[in-house]
């Protein structure tokens, strides 16, 4: 296999006849800090009209900076140092700024990762879309408003004329993301850059957003640069895939080739880190270490410190680009001419080695002993109106939830945003006062007890929050953060004993003892989540309530946290209430699954029963919306409309307004619980029949 760069060009470096086919050509793109440090290092790729190119990789590898370089929107202190960017044969880097303003939104548009920060909070949704139309479309004044409404309808927002007059804070996260897409499509761009467009969305909203992008491509021939770390989304959307690491593209291939035979060790490890039920008895193949920081040495392979196949050459010399067969290319010494004979013997293993720890311990620890018993839990928030603030109704966030969690077991609570999952978790800890019901922890009733009694019980129940950075005090060192809970609950006898306990905790969650003197901002996202886990373990809990603890993490970091949670359960016999909308994570970690919709549990059972033989139409819709890397799965079920408001739930079955199988009975009577098996139960009239 030749490795000479003159014979094996970088992906995207094409001759003139080949360039004509492509809408976007990026060659040798380098973006630097003012001090010379490279953020984006020699990136090259090309995208055809109507094609999707996915840029895949961990946080911090330069994906978003690549996108901002294409749009010429780099923040202060970063500049494009060299390279070519050509959009439809027009040199983007040579354009003056006044001409670039016409390109942005008109020929090349971008959907940003966080719509809440990208939308103007003091302008209505309609005015923000109208602004894009005025800049890029030659429409008369009376045509702009109808076009705004049409765009909102096109992106699947119901009651568009009313929504156009609303402000961003009045919209859900999924609706704000769709408004961002409507704004991007307003200029009818030839090229759309989507930067993590579905990261914070539920699987059902994610499916709607991805379908909208595909439909738009089919109608207009628009090219799409999709930036993501979700392999399932890549499998569903991409034609070509570039895997990025530490500022470089280290592998590029057609989607089918990459998913069947990933070449680079980093790509192989990303696949091996994916959770699924088949690996529930094994640790996931997490990638040790982190992406190298800015300014790290560029003279060797950047992945070598984390690669189990690295040898001396990898630590001494940077690998060249090697073109493989079927359009696949890779930047790795394993594929150079000198290693050609050994390369053919490489095996792609997507499964980690079997665990040496016994997974049966957690399966059997106190299976019949209930640690937490919840009966008919209700949390209703009053709605006040008028000068006298009279109560005119209630938001029924949680409306009659019952559950039972034995010691050493994991119960997963799944559902769309706004269904009440987090409210359940906070109500169990009495962080929100329940309206009614019973919560018994280790045989003690928690509702109605005094603050002093509750403080004694709180040590046994702790919560891991979704965003570790927001939940850790930025002004406190790690040692102070861990000691705070021990001081409040009088754990350990003296300062020396507490410091020994802090060292043990850090070692337990895989961090160095010396890190206790650092502040939260000095750690990566995965390390901060480990600190958050160490903080809750400091008070010796029996039950952890995990609220989306891996939703914002890369797949490799997610694997580290899941391995940690599983090993802690085996070692300490911990119980988990795992709140998530990531069904792959649920399938890997949980024993039982409860599906929640509009404040109520609509289906519950073991992982095998609920995720492989769902009976409720809502559960079926959730599962069908999950993108899978093997292309298999259930037939897609599209949910009509949006989740109704919990302040005014529909009469009868709450799901009937979105259910394709709804009958007259569904609109009139809430379904009773139907027993499928001893462990599998569902609230649905269809199941009763």
Q: Please, where are the H alpha helices in 509-554?
A: 525-537
What is the pLDDT at residue 631? 56
* pLDDT over 60 (residue 211): yes
Question: How confident is the model at residue 356, as a pLDDT?
Answer: 37
State yes or no: pLDDT of 451 exceeds 60: yes
In this prediction, residue 2 carries a pLDDT of 37
pLDDT number for residue 391? 84
Per-residue pLDDT at 589 exceeds 70 = yes
- The predicted structure's pLDDT at residue 347: 42
What are the tens digits of pLDDT across the range 57-99?
A: 888 788 989 999 999 999 888 999 999 999 988 999 999 998 9
Helix ranges restricted to H, 322-450: 340-343, 360-364, 421-428
CATH number reported for the structural domain that contains residue 442 in this entry = 3.40.50.300
Query: What value does the mean pLDDT take over residues 415-439?
Result: 91
| 3-state SS, one letter per residue, for 121-183 | CCCCHHHHHHHHHHHHCCCCHHHHHHHHHHHHHHCCCCCHHHHCCCCHHHCCHHHHHHHHHHH
Task: Give a yes or no: residue 358 inside a domain.
Answer: no
pLDDT at 369: 64
| 645 occurs within a structural domain | yes
For 324-381, how does the pLDDT look when each residue is reduced to its tens digit (9 = 90+)? 988 999 999 998 754 444 443 444 444 444 333 333 433 433 344 689 999 999 999 9
Give the mean pLDDT of 202-207. Answer: 81
Kind and range of the H or E run holding 25: strand 22-33
pLDDT tens per residue across span 294-306:
666 678 999 999 9
**Domain-embedded: residue 145:** no
Q: Is the pLDDT of residue 115 over 80?
A: no
Quick: pLDDT tens for 379-424: 999 988 888 888 888 889 999 999 999 999 999 999 988 788 989 9
Does residue 360 fall inside a structural domain? no
Whether the pLDDT of residue 14 is over 60: the answer is no
Dihedrals φ, ψ of 18, to 5°? -75, -35
Measured in residues, the chain has a length of 689
Q: For 557, phi and psi rounded to 5 degrees?
A: -70, -40
3-state secondary structure of 521: helix
Where in the sequence is the domain holding 439, given as residue range(s)?
A: 366-460+540-688
The pLDDT-based confidence of 261 (bands split at 50, 70, 90) is: very high
pLDDT over 90 at 275, yes or no: no
173-202 mean pLDDT: 85
Asked if the structure places residue 159 within a domain, the reply is no
Give me the chain's average pLDDT, please.
85
Most distant CA pair in the chain: distance in Å?
82
Position 386 scores a pLDDT of 82
Is 394 within a domain? yes
Is position 370 within any domain? yes
Kind and range of the H or E run holding 233:
helix 231-237
Q: Give yes or no for a contact between 414 and 581, defined as CB atoms under 8 angstroms apart.
A: yes
> Does the residue 279 lie in any domain?
no
**245-254, 275-284, 371-380, 387-396: least confidently modelled range:** 275-284
Predicted confidence at residue 9, as pLDDT, reads 38
Token reading at 214? 């595909």
Between 557 and 312, residue with greater pLDDT: 312
State percent of the chain over pLDDT 90: 47
**DSSP of 80-129:** EEEEEEEETTEEGGGS-HHHHHHHBTTTEEEE-S-HHHHS-TTS-HHHHH
**The pLDDT of residue 352:** 40
Number of domains in the chain: 1
């Amino acid at each position: 296999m030749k490795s000479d760069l003159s014979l094996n060009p970088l992906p995207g470096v094409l001759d003139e006849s080949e360039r004509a086919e492509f809408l976007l050509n990026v060659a040798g793109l380098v973006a630097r800090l003012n001090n010379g440090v490279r953020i984006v290092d020699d990136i090259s790729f090309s995208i055809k009209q109507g094609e999707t190119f996915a840029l895949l990789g961990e946080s911090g590898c330069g994906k978003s900076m690549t996108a901002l370089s294409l749009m010429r929107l780099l923040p202060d202190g970063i500049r494009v140092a060299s390279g070519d960017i050509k959009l439809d044969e027009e040199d983007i880097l040579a354009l003056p700024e006044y001409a670039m303003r016409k390109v942005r939104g008109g020929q090349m548009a971008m959907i940003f990762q966080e719509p809440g920060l990208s939308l103007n909070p003091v302008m209505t949704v309609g005015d923000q879309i109208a602004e894009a139309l005025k800049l890029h479309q030659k429409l008369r004044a009376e045509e702009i408003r109808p076009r705004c409404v049409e765009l909102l309808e096109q992106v699947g927002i119901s009651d568009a004329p009313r929504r156009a007059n609303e402000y961003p804070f009045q919209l859900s996260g999924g609706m704000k993301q769709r408004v961002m897409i409507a704004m991007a499509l307003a200029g009818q761009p030839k090229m759309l850059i989507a930067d993590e467009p579905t990261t914070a969305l539920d699987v059902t909203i994610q499916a709607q957003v991805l379908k909208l992008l595909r439909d738009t491509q089919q109608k207009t021939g628009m090219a799409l640069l999709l930036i993501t770390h979700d392999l399932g989304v890549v499998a569903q959307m991409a034609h070509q895939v570039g895997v990025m690491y530490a500022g470089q593209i280290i592998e590029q291939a057609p989607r089918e080739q990459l998913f069947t035979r990933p070449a680079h060790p980093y790509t192989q490890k990303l696949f091996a880190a994916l959770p699924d039920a088949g690996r529930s008895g094994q640790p996931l193949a997490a990638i040790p270490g982190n992406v190298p920081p800015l300014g790290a040495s560029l003279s060797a392979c950047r992945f070598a410190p984390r690669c189990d196949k690295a040898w001396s050459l990898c630590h001494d010399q940077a690998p060249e680009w090697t073109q493989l067969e079927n359009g696949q290319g890779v930047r790795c010494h394993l594929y150079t001419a000198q290693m050609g004979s050994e390369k053919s013997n490489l095996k792609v293993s997507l499964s980690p080695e079997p665990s040496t720890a016994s997974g049966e311990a957690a399966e059997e620890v106190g299976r019949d002993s209930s640690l937490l018993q919840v009966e008919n839990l209700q949390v209703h928030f009053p709605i006040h109106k008028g000068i006298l603030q009279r109560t005119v109704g209630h938001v029924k966030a949680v409306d009659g939830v019952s559950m039972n969690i034995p010691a050493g077991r994991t119960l997963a609570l799944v559902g769309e945003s706004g269904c009440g999952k987090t409210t359940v978790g906070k109500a169990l800890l009495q962080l929100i006062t329940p309206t009614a019901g019973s919560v018994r922890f280790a045989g003690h009733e928690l509702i109605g007890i005094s603050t002093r009694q509750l403080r004694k019980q709180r040590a046994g129940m702790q919560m891991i929050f979704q965003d570790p950075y927001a939940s850790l005090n930025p002004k406190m060192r790690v040692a102070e953060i861990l000691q705070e809970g021990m001081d409040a609950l009088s754990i350990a006898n003296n300062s020396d004993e507490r410091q020994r306990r802090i060292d043990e905790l850090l070692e337990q969650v895989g961090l160095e003892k010396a890190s206790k003197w650092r502040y939260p901002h000095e750690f990566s996202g995965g390390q901060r989540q480990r600190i958050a886990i160490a903080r809750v373990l400091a008070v010796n809990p029996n039950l952890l309530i995990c609220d989306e603890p891996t939703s914002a993490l890369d797949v490799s970091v997610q694997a580290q946290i899941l391995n940690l949670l599983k090993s802690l359960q085996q070692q300490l016999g911990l119980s988990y209430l795992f709140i998530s909308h990531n069904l792959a994570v649920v399938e890997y970690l949980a024993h039982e699954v409860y599906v929640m919709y509009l404040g109520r549990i609509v289906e519950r059972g073991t992982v095998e029963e609920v995720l492989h033989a769902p009976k409720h139409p809502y559960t079926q819709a959730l599962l069908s919306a999950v993108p899978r890397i093997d292309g298999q799965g259930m037939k897609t079920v599209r949910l009509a409309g949006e989740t109704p408001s919990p302040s005014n739930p529909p009469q009868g079955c709450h799901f009937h307004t979105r259910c394709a199988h709804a009958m007259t009975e569904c609109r009139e009577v809430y379904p009773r619980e139907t027993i499928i098996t001893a462990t599998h139960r569902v609230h649905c009239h269809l199941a009763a029949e």
